[in-house]
Homo-oligomer: A and B are copies of this chain.
Amino acid sequence: MDKIKIDSSAAFLYPMPMVLVGSVVENKANFMAVGWVSRVNLKPPLIAVSLGPHYTNKGIDENKEFSINIPNISLMERTDYCGLVSGSKTDKSEVFDLFYGELKKAPLIKECPICISCILYNAVKLPFNTLYIGEPKEVFTEDKYMTDKQLDIT
């Protein structure tokens, strides 16, 4: 079992979840696809998303609110689209049907099985990315995704 050294940029982790991070920029909802996301604290259940320098960031920085929407396979094409085009050039507010909970600057996606509105807890500046750590304010799902009053993760 001979080990070989490879370039450290290969240090990706799989499987990656894929979420749609939403914010309100210039009064419009905007979303981007993010694969670098993880739960980071037990109580409160903080979640971190790592964003490069994107249009979405502006809304989070200004409003201290954002959303995390977990798509299912049927949304893959539209999720991809949000990962490929920038909100600075394209209005993405009508790609999905939206709703809002208590946080009016955290746009939630009706089509997503799980929607989480977050209050910004901390923003950690890294050399290229910013790690936005959010505290969930509300989590929305649908009855059909629940089994015995628990979220059925399958």
Contact = CB atoms under 8 A, between A and B. Distances in A.
Interface of A: 1-17, 19, 36-48, 50, 52, 68, 70, 99, 101, 108, 110, 115-116, 122, 124, 126-129, 131, 133, 136-143, 146, 150-151, 153
12 contacts: A6-B141, A8-B44, A11-B68, A13-B39, A13-B47, A15-B17, A39-B50, A40-B50, A41-B50, A41-B127, A41-B128, A124-B133
Given A40-B126, A99-B3, A17 B8 contact: no
This chain's copy number in the assembly: 2
Nearest to A2: B142
Q: Which of A8, A9, A150 has the most CB of B within 10 A?
A: A8
